[in-house]
Amino acid sequence: MRPTLSPATLAELRRPRPYPAVSIVMSTHRREPGSEQDPIRLRGLLNEAKEKVEADPAVSRSDRIDVLGQLDRALTEVDLVHAEDGLAILAAPGEHHIWSFGRPAPPRVVLSDTFLTRNLDAAHAAERPYWVLAVAADRVVLWGGDQARVTEEQGHGFPLVRSYDEPDPERREQIGDVPSTFRDEETKAFLREADAEAGKVLSADPRPLYVVGEAAALTLLDAAGPIARAATAQIPHAGLAGADPVTVHRVVEPAVRAHADEEVSDALGRLDAARGRRAFTSGLDDVRQAAERGTVAHLVVEENFRATVRDAGEHLVPAEPGAPGAREDIVDEVIERALDTGARVNFVPDDTLADEGRIAAVLRY
């Protein structure tokens, strides 16, 4: 239930579908006591979705049977034992998708000709995904990571594995001159292949890249192509090409944290510069309007900023969750719209933008 969200995946989920494209979104809980009620809430939303499909005269009999079957199959595949903060079930004729993500989401059932993806878009941006390339002479492994974990990627041509002959022990005894594994031409060719494959991954899904390996491996990968030289950080540490996820996450976490701190400083610096040239706006109402106009170049949001509002025409006004007309995921809506129009999005620690209404933006013009 936890495949990797990527820009390509999100774009695929946003494309139009045959009606009805059913979206079920809800908050979930990682532990008790909240987690005890998650199955009940999920079944309630699922039943609501089925009732809407069955009652909609625009849905043909064949599509109704198909979509109801997709929802039933999705329910059997949901893993609430390893739940995060939010869950999305997306179903349409011929397909269903299940996504667990790290942001709460108000409960919602929507029938449309597209899936509801704003919560997934916001969660993907908030997770700060990154890549780890672990390099050894005989194995190169790609890991996908976020703030909580890393997971080995089994696609994209990885892992790359080769066998090679050990240095001749007799030669070591006779003359003490055993060529380094990392001066071997076959090893150089192997790492050139790794560089090329990693380049394809970064082109399809750009993220910060952390390259990890013993010093000789990093030096050789530097010479093999541009990937290691352009990495966010190189971390001299042997053995990670065969390590477990917990170890990989522990080794790269300090570098990931340092990069996140740099991104926060950079984002705040951009906001300050934008103030000086009058390309700055802040507060949910004004930022929402700028996002709708497509004029947000860089959006900065506090990590846990949530707001429930009602649209009162020209302005948003506070509202109680569940009230008529309430929009409980308005912050995620703004993030989704900003991403759709090509804006950069950064999350900063809570209270960083306390004087700016928790959200601010650099404008294009």
Give pLDDT, residue 165: 59
Q: 209-248 burial string, b = 16+ CB within 10 Å, else e?
A: bbbbbbebbbebbbebbebbeebbbbbebbebbebeeeeb
What's the distance, Cα to Cα, between the start and end of the chain in Å?
A: 41
Q: If you average pLDDT over residues 51-68, what whole number do you get? A: 97
Mean pLDDT of 151-162: 89
Q: Would you say residue 174 has pLDDT above 70?
A: no
Give the tens place of pLDDT for each residue, 27-59: 999 988 888 999 999 999 999 999 999 999 999
In this predicted model, which residue has the larger pLDDT, 170 or 194?
Answer: 194
The pLDDT score that the predictor gives to residue 8 is 83
Give the range among 159-173, 237-251, 259-273 with minimum mean pLDDT: 159-173
Average pLDDT over residues 294-309: 94
Determine the average pLDDT of the residues in 1-6.
63
What pLDDT shows up at residue 3? 59
* Beta bridge partners of residue 132, listed in sequence order: 143, 210
Place of tokens 């059932």: 109
Q: What percent of the chain has pLDDT over 70?
A: 93
200-229 tens-digit pLDDT: 999 988 999 999 999 999 999 999 999 999
Residue 324: per-residue pLDDT: 85
Q: Tell me if 252 sits within 8 A of 235, measured CB to CB.
A: yes
pLDDT band at 175 (very low <50, low <70, confident <90, very high): very low
- Top pLDDT among 314 and 122 is at 122
347: which strand partners?
301
**What digits encode the pLDDT tens for the residues 89-144?**
999 999 999 999 988 999 999 999 999 999 999 888 888 999 999 999 899 999 99
User: Which residues face 97 on adjacent strands?
Assistant: 90
Pairing of strands 95-101, 108-112: unpaired
pTM of the model: 0.81
The continuous run of DSSP H or E covering 268 comes out as helix 245-276
Residue 125 to residue 334: CA distance in whole angstroms: 12
Residue 169 in this model has a pLDDT that exceeds 60: no
| 164: confidence class by pLDDT, cuts 50, 70, 90 | low
pLDDT at residue 341 above 80?
yes
Query: What mean pLDDT is predicted for residues 217-242?
Result: 93
Return the C-alpha torsion angle 240, 243, 247, 248, nearest 10: 50
| Average pLDDT rounded to a whole number, residues 156-178 | 61
Lowest mean pLDDT among 161-165, 333-337, 341-345: 161-165
Phi-psi region of 139 (alpha: psi -120 to 50; beta: other; left: phi over 0): beta
The pLDDT value given to residue 7: 82
Assess whether the previous peptide bond of 106 is cis (omega < 30° from 0).
Answer: no
Give the model confidence (pLDDT) of 177-204 as tens digits.
434 566 678 888 999 999 999 999 999 8
Say what the pLDDT of residue 172 is: 43
Q: Average pLDDT of 64-76?
A: 97
CA 166 – CA 330 distance, rounded (Å):
60
Tokens of 65: 């049977």
pLDDT of 2 reads: 52
Residue 182, amino acid:
F
